[in-house]
Structure 1
Amino acid sequence: MENKEIKIRQAVEADSEKIWALMQELAIFEKYIDVFAITPAIVAESGFHKNPPDFRCIVAEDHERIVGIMVYYFIPYTLHNRPDIYMKELYVAEAYRGKKIGERLMNQLKKEALSHHCGQINWKVAPWNEAGKKFYKRLGATENTEWLNYEWDIQK
């Protein structure tokens, strides 16, 4: 059931601490809290002070409480000769799940992508996150099995 009182909007710097709190909840959910290095000050600096920002964020707000976040950034040049959006984080507070907030955040991101003439929206899903995979498939997203993900930890 969709809650019409939930407002979907672009984040502003004053949201930094609330965005960070949900990022921290996501780090717990995705089991990387032991290496989570983000602070509210980093959110403010990276998302709102830099030009261009390192990331952008759409929030779901319930009476001044941020209950969902969509963190993303633009990949300016792709094989399509137009930008793509990379969705880094989508998270809805547990008490607000099942109210179509994630779907509304995804639809707002789609509008953002279309307004910037993007070719695609890309993201990763943990293989154990069955609810997430089901959600994305329900929206019409397809799994890309043509590429493998690699990481190079250059800090070791």
Structure 2
Amino acid sequence: MSECSIEQVTSESFSDFFKLLCELARYEHLTPPDVDAESRLKHDLLDSHPRLEAYIARYQGSPIGFATFFFSYSTFLAKPTLFLEDIFVLESYRGNGYGKKLFDFCRNEAKVRGCGRMDWMVLTWNEPSIQFYEKIGGSRLGWYTYRLSQDQL
């Protein structure tokens, strides 16, 4: 574990991050981002006012995982909320504490930035992740998630 580092994604490390994101898409049985989405994502991450932040985990210099998050706001707490959009570790590195290290990094960022809470979602079929989140103290909420897709906006 001491050889695992976490660093913010830069223009130099974006391609490593994007490869990991495509691996996450495969794991979740989704279509990976296309070339246009890749370009938008790179802009949104690296802009002077980024829409989200991305951090890459490296083991002995090799990219093994990542986390992305952005901030929303809780009007009831009157504090920001860190929303963990994605967290992923390559299958061959799972079970070694790297996912927990990434999660704890995000948890610490929420504390440092004065957040009142940290939220995330998990696919209902992803039992290993559900067990991971519940083991580290995550609480399942009694809310339904709704969405309007792009053609419905």
Question: CA separation of 1:74/1:4 partners in 2, compared to 1, >3 Å: closer, same or farther?
Answer: same
**1:94 maps to what in 2?**
91
Preserved contact between residue 85 and residue 113 of structure 1 (Cα < 8 Å): yes
Gaps of at least 5 residues in structure 1 are none
Partner SS for 1:89: strand
Which amino acid is the alignment partner of residue 94 of structure 2? Answer: R
Q: What is the distance in 1 between the residues matched to 2:96 and 2:86? A: 18
Instruction: Normalising by structure 2, report the TM-score.
Output: 0.90
**2:144 maps to what in 1?**
148
Q: 2:102 aligns with which of 105, 127, 140?
A: 105
Preserved contact between residue 16 and residue 43 of structure 1 (Cα < 8 Å): no
Q: 1:80 aligns with which of 61, 77, 82?
A: 77
Aligned-pair distance for 1:77? 4.8
Which amino acid is the alignment partner of residue 92 of structure 1? Answer: V
Higher relative contact order (CA 8 A, sep 6+): 1
* Cα RMSD after superposing both structures: 1.6
Say which structure is richer in strand: 2
Matched, 1:138 2:143: no
Preserved contact between residue 20 and residue 43 of structure 1 (Cα < 8 Å): no
Q: What is the distance in 2 between the residues matched to 1:42 and 1:152? A: 20
Partner SS for 1:7: strand
